[in-house]
Amino acid sequence: MNCTCFIVPKSVLERFANDKSLTTEVRRAAFESSLLSDLLRGSRTQHAAFISASQTIAAHLEDLAAEPESVVFDCKHTQTLPGRSVSNPGTSADPSSARACTQALRVAEFYQTIFKRNSVDNAGGTLVSSIHFGRKYDNAMWNGTQMVYGDGDNKIFTDFTGGNDVIGHELTHGVTQHTLQLGYTDDAGGLNESLSDCFGSMFRQWETKQTSQTGDWLIGSDIIGPTVKEKGVTCLRNMANPADPHALAPQPANYSQITPGMDPHFTSGPPNLAFCSACKAVPGNSWDTIGQVWYHVMMTAGAHPTMSMKDFAGRTRQAAIQLFGAEPEVASSIDKAWKAIGL
C-alpha cells in the first residue's frame, strides 16, 4: 500500500508555493512542506508490506494491551523522528502535546466504544505522536507507524493538532492499513482517503455530540489559517458538497467525473458524498447505522489493495441488509446515496 496519508493534498501546497500574491515566507513554507511530504513516503510503503506479511502469518495472536497507551515526542522543529520523549504529555503545558496525547486517546475511545476496536491495529497498539515537526510544516500525516504533526505557518494553516477530525482522519489511515490494506491509486486510493474522512467526521460529531443532521460535515475547518480565511475559505473539504468553492480542495461529486491518475484527495469526493447523504437520510447519529455498515465492510472484506468503489458500494448494500434487516430505511438510504453519485 503506497499510501501518502497526508491531510493536505500536495497540489494545494504547490498552489500556495506558486501564489505570488502571498509573501515569500508563506510560499517557502508551502514549498518546503510539499518537499518534506514527498520525502516521507518510503517508510509508509515499507511498513505496509510488513503489516501485510504479519497478518498472513498471524503474527499477533495476543493483544499488546487491553487498551492503548498514548505517547508523545517533540521534534523541536527538526525533521528527526520520533523526536524527544515528552513526560506526562496529556498534562503538558505545551498545548500541542496535550492535544496530541488526549485526542489520540479519544479516537481510541471512539473506536472502542462504537466499534469494539482496540486501537488502530485492534491489538492495543501504542498510539505514538510526534509534534512540532519541521519549521512551519503545513501538514499532518500517518507515516505507517505513528502520527506526525506540523505547526503550520499560521497563515495558511494553524497547528494541526487543533483539528479533532484531522486526528481522527489520520489515525483511521492506520485502521485501513490493518484491515482493507487499500492502495493509493485509482478507486482504492479514493476509498482510502474517503474512509479517513468518514471516520474522522464521525469522530468529530461523536466528540461534539452532533447528529448526522446537525453536523457540518466539513473536514479541516479548525486548521484553516487567517490568510485563506480572508479569501472565504472555510475548510479543506466539504463532504456534503464536494464541489464547494469555499473548500481549499474542491472535489468531483459524481463517479463519472473521476479520471485515471487523479489524486485520492479528490477522488474521495463521490464516496464522501454517498456516505454523508446516507447518514443524513437516517435520523440520529452517523455511527449508529451507516457508520456500522462501513466499518463492517472494512472488517470483513479482507485485504483488498485494489478494491473498486463499485465493489465497496455493493458490499455496503449487502452489509446494510445483513446488519439492519429490520430497519429497511438503512439499506434504502445507502442504495439511493450510491446511485446518486453514479454507483
Residues that are catalytic = 170, 265
SS3 85: strand
Write out 167-225 in H/E/C secondary structure.
Answer: HHHHHHHHHHHCCCCCCCCHHHHHHHHHHHHHHHHHHHHHHHCCCCCCCCCEECHHHEC
Share in percent of the chain as helix, strand, coil (round to 5)? 50, 10, 45
The three cell numbers locating residue 286: 452517523
User: What is the separation, in whole angstroms, between the first and last Cα of the chain?
Assistant: 25
The three cell numbers locating residue 40: 516521507
DSSP code per residue over 62-83? S-S-SS--EEEEE-TTSS-SS-
Q: Helix 186-208 to helix 164-177 angle, to the nearest 10 degrees? A: 130
DSSP code per residue over 241-294? -TT-TTBSS---SSGGG--TT--HHHHTHHHHHHHHHHHHHSSS-TTTTHHHHH
Cα distance between residue 53 and residue 243, in whole Å: 39
Q: Are 165 and 102 in contact (CB under 8 A)?
A: no
Query: Which is nearest to 32 in space by CA: 81, 77, 82, 86?
Result: 77
